[in-house]
Amino acid sequence: MSAIADVDRLKDRKVVLELSGIGKSFGDHVVLQDVNLSLKTGEVLALIGPSGSGKSTLLRCINFLGQPSQGTVRVGDVIVNAEEQINHSKLTDLRRALGMVFQSFNLFPHMTVLRNISLPQERVLGRSREEADRRSQELLRRVGLENKAHQYPVRCSGGQQQRIAIARALALDPQIMLFDEPTSALDPELGMEVLAVMQELAEGGMTMIVVTHEMHFAETVSDRVIIMADGKILEQGPSSEVMRNPKTERAQKFLKAVKDR
């Protein structure tokens, strides 16, 4: 899909996520500085940049797993201001709108794959076990793992476990999916399984932010790429344009290093 087509596809979409003035510090160490971005319904945004640039921290600030030091996060009609006393009801609403997939799979080893996906639905959404299991089976079919429902995670490969983690996040019906380098702990072949599921989600219209080192995915699957360094956004724009013609010297250096690796 060309950059122009991407822009046209999203032109009339509603902004579903907005970050304003997001900053994060640990004592005197500044990790994020005045980050502003918005995301439209159905948009896929790739966050790339050198290690330590603040990408994963930014993702955790969106759902307040790591509370920002300053700034506001808006998801739909829910606005949470980091500089005010946190309203826990608002925070719960914010987190329910966001599905998160981490580098590590975080599955419960003593539960079957099916229970790993169904239990959060019962606890968070109040679904009955039967209803939750139906939804879990649908999602396991979607990620190609229907035959693993009654296995335990230890009997699954790393790629399969990450796909199960994606199904678990989708089961809570989030508006936006956040992926924090979901293939970094996997070898290339298993990583491809996970990327294929993510591409299918993107093609199905899921709104997504993906922190990734997978440059091909960033260029060909995402609508927009943001390059970060030193806790700031260096540049952003249509994926192919940013990836092929970065404007800043720092972005050029990063992309050259990645491509020459």
Query: How open is the CA angle 48-39-169, to the nearest 5 degrees?
Result: 80
Task: Give me the chain's average pLDDT, please.
Answer: 92
pLDDT of residue 86: 85
Where in the chain does DSSP place strands (E)? 15-26, 29-40, 44-48, 70-75, 78-81, 98-101, 176-180, 207-211, 224-229, 232-238
Domains in the chain (CATH in brackets) are 3-97+174-260 (3.40.50.300), 112-170 (no CATH)
pLDDT digits (tens, 9 = 90+) for 30-43: 999 999 999 999 99
Full-prediction pTM beyond 0.85?
yes
pLDDT digits (tens, 9 = 90+) for 27-77: 889 999 999 999 999 999 999 999 999 999 999 999 999 999 999 999 999
pLDDT digits (tens, 9 = 90+) for 205-233: 999 999 999 999 999 999 999 999 999 99
Q: Which residues contact 59 (CB under 8 A, 6 or more apart)?
A: 47, 100, 178, 180, 209, 211
